[in-house]
Structure 1
Amino acid sequence: MTPAQLRAYSAVVRLGSVRAAARELGMTDSGVSMHIAQLRKELGDPLYSRGPSGLVFTPGGLCLAGRSAEILGLQRQTAIEVGQAGHGRRMLRIAASPLFAEHAAPGLVDLFASAATNLSVEVSVHPVRRFADLVASRAVDVALGPRAPDKRGQLSVCPFLHYEVLTVCAADHPLAHTSPPLSRLREQQWFLGPSAAAGDGPMRHMLRGLGIPDSHKRVFPSDASAIEAVRQSTALTVALRYAVGDELFDGTLGVVDGPDLRADGDWCATTLARRHLQPATTELLHIITTPHCRQAMTRSAGADITHYTPHTHVVRWN
């Protein structure tokens, strides 16, 4: 099996057709088909057939789909590590959920990168549902955010920070420090950051439970910008307790009470099994549970909106 064959097969699996795979890889359809034919011959397995609703994979084809992603990820990681080593540097690639990326990643990475030697850190923002595939394929070294579903049982999960989500409003809002009925909450305007509007953590689940109509939601590019807009309006929002702690203390924001208006969760570090980790990942797992690191993450709450772009943002610390 060659990397070119595995790339072709992985693209067919992911995109569902030879033509789409060829277009993505910049090849001809016949070139992709040739790679697939060579794999079938070498492995003695048809890998997949075409059914009425798309490709139907054999058990061997499904096995190769997972292995090809893992092998190609390992190849990419090796190329990066060799290149970094040749220049005396190492690379740590982190996938982060939108909420973690905005409120905790800056403090964590600043602390870790300043303590580690010859290290570059790359942070990319992804939905939690992609964590398992990103880590298993070695596209990233560690995923930070809510616990990721692991259907294959291949991953190691280390909880490191508990957090609480509150419903807040301007201090002079009529609902501040009250427990309004659900009907009243559904009448309100809600200003939401990306984690609450389209994430897959406690904020999103809480809003779904409340049944807030989409027509009453306005989405902002960051949680920080949503909170700032709420401070100057009659809207409500959901926020991390530690992100709005100063505003709650000085009275510029108020809490809307109620059992359905609070949620909590744990941020976790998701990695491969410990024996497969590169040294930089092991170093991160060691520091991430320390009180010093927890303080750095919570102190950095509310990154400046100009330095945060959800879903696609990649930041490197050197």
Structure 2
Amino acid sequence: MTPTQLRAYVTVVRLGSVKQAAAQLEVSESAVSLHIGQLRKELGDQLFSRAAAGLAFTPGGLRLASRAAELLGLQDRTVHEVSAAGRGRRLLRVAASSLFAELAAPGLIELFAKRAADLDVELSVRNPGTFETLLLTRAADIAIGPPPPVVDQAIAGRPVMNYRLVLVVGPDHPLAGVPASPGQLRDQTWLLGPSATADRGAVPGLLRRFAVPDDRQRIFQSHAAALAEAKRGRGVAPALSFTVAPDVRAGHLQLLGGPHATFEAVWHSLVLAKPDTLPAAAELSRFASTPRAIQAMMRGAGVSVGRFKPSVHVTLWS
């Protein structure tokens, strides 16, 4: 088996189509089919067949998909590590939910990176629903954000920071200073950051609590942009309590009262369980829950609206 063959197979599995896999890999369909055929011959397994609903994978085909993704992740990680070692540096890849990445990660990562002169930290925004896959395939060394409902035995998790999500409006909004019922909140225009589109997390949980319909949700490129719209009185915005405290004190925003207007949650760090844990990942997981790190997260300036690009944004700290 070659990395090229495995990459072709993994792409077919992910997209469910040889044609789409060829387009993404920028090769011909016959080239992808050739790689699949070579794998079938070497492994003695059909791997998958065409069905009315798409591709139907054999048990061996599903096992190969999982193992191939892991092998390719190890290959990519090795390339990064060898390149970094050649420059006398180490690389730590952090996957984070958009809420954490925008509002808490900059302070944490900047402080942590200062602890080791030879460490580069790469932060990328990922959907929390992909955290386990990213770790198991070695595409990320540590993930921080909402925890999965059930943690895989190959992954170790620990709480990082308790936080409170609150609802805010501008001082001129009709609900400013008025106790609002769940029904009134449901009918408002909700101003949201990219975390609203995630599989899990505090913001999606809050939207489910109020059963906010899709046509009442406006999603912005960043949470900071959503709050800017809230200051103009254009709707209700969920926000981290510690990030909006200065604006509330200054009168630029007002908190909505009532027990239904707050949401308590916890960010967790996830790493591969021992002995597969990367030492730098284990150290960041431990450090993130310390009082000094939490203070840094709460004081962090965050990523500016212009720089934050949730689908592709990557920031390096050295």
Q: 2-side partners of 1:18 and 1:236: how far apart?
A: 45
Q: What is the RMSD computed on CA atoms of the aligned residues?
A: 2.1
Deviates more, 1:68-77 or 1:303-312: 303-312
1:280 aligns with 2:280: yes
Secondary structure at the counterpart of residue 93 of structure 1: strand
- Residue aligning to 1:130: 130
- Residue aligning to 2:196: 196
Matches within 5 A, 1:1-318: 1-149=1-149, 152-171=152-171, 173-196=173-196, 200-233=200-233, 235-300=235-300, 302-318=302-318
AA aligned opposite 1:226: A
User: Closer, same or farther in 2 for the Cα pair 1:22/1:183, shift >3 Å?
Assistant: closer
Q: Is the 8 A contact 2:190 2:237 kept in 1?
A: yes
Secondary structure at the counterpart of residue 116 of structure 1: coil
Deviates more, 1:262-271 or 1:147-156: 147-156
Residue by residue over 1:55-78, the C-alpha shift from the partner in whole angstroms, topping out at 9 and shown as x without a partner, is: 111111111110000001001101
AA aligned opposite 1:285: S
AA aligned opposite 1:35: H
Secondary structure at the counterpart of residue 229 of structure 1: helix
AA aligned opposite 1:45: D
Residue by residue over 1:243-278, the C-alpha shift from the partner in whole angstroms, topping out at 9 and shown as x without a partner, is: 112233344422212333211211111121131122
User: Closer, same or farther in 2 for the Cα pair 1:87/1:234, shift >3 Å?
Assistant: closer
User: 5+ residue gaps in structure 1?
Assistant: none
User: Closer, same or farther in 2 for the Cα pair 1:172/1:89, shift >3 Å?
Assistant: same
Q: 2-side partners of 1:215 and 1:11: how far apart?
A: 34
Q: 2-side partners of 1:267 and 1:316: how far apart?
A: 21
Q: Is the 8 A contact 1:129 1:149 kept in 2?
A: no
Work out the number of aligned pairs and report it: 318
Q: Is the 8 A contact 2:270 2:285 kept in 1?
A: no
Q: 2-side partners of 1:301 and 1:276: how far apart?
A: 33
Secondary structure at the counterpart of residue 100 of structure 2: helix
Matched residues, percent identical? 46
Secondary structure at the counterpart of residue 269 of structure 2: strand
Secondary structure at the counterpart of residue 244 of structure 1: helix
Deviates more, 1:18-27 or 1:265-274: 18-27
Q: 2-side partners of 1:242 and 1:234: how far apart?
A: 22
AA aligned opposite 1:239: A
User: Closer, same or farther in 2 for the Cα pair 1:43/1:234, shift >3 Å?
Assistant: closer
Deviates more, 1:224-233 or 1:63-72: 224-233
> 1:212: Cα distance to partner?
3.0
AA aligned opposite 2:121: V
TM-score in terms of structure 2 length: 0.92
> 1:197: Cα distance to partner?
5.7
AA aligned opposite 1:113: A
User: 5+ residue gaps in structure 2?
Assistant: none
TM-score in terms of structure 1 length: 0.92
User: Closer, same or farther in 2 for the Cα pair 1:30/1:232, shift >3 Å?
Assistant: closer
Secondary structure at the counterpart of residue 129 of structure 2: helix
AA aligned opposite 1:183: G
> 1:84: Cα distance to partner?
0.6
Secondary structure at the counterpart of residue 243 of structure 2: coil
Secondary structure at the counterpart of residue 159 of structure 1: strand
> 1:48: Cα distance to partner?
1.5
Q: 2-side partners of 1:146 and 1:237: how far apart?
A: 20
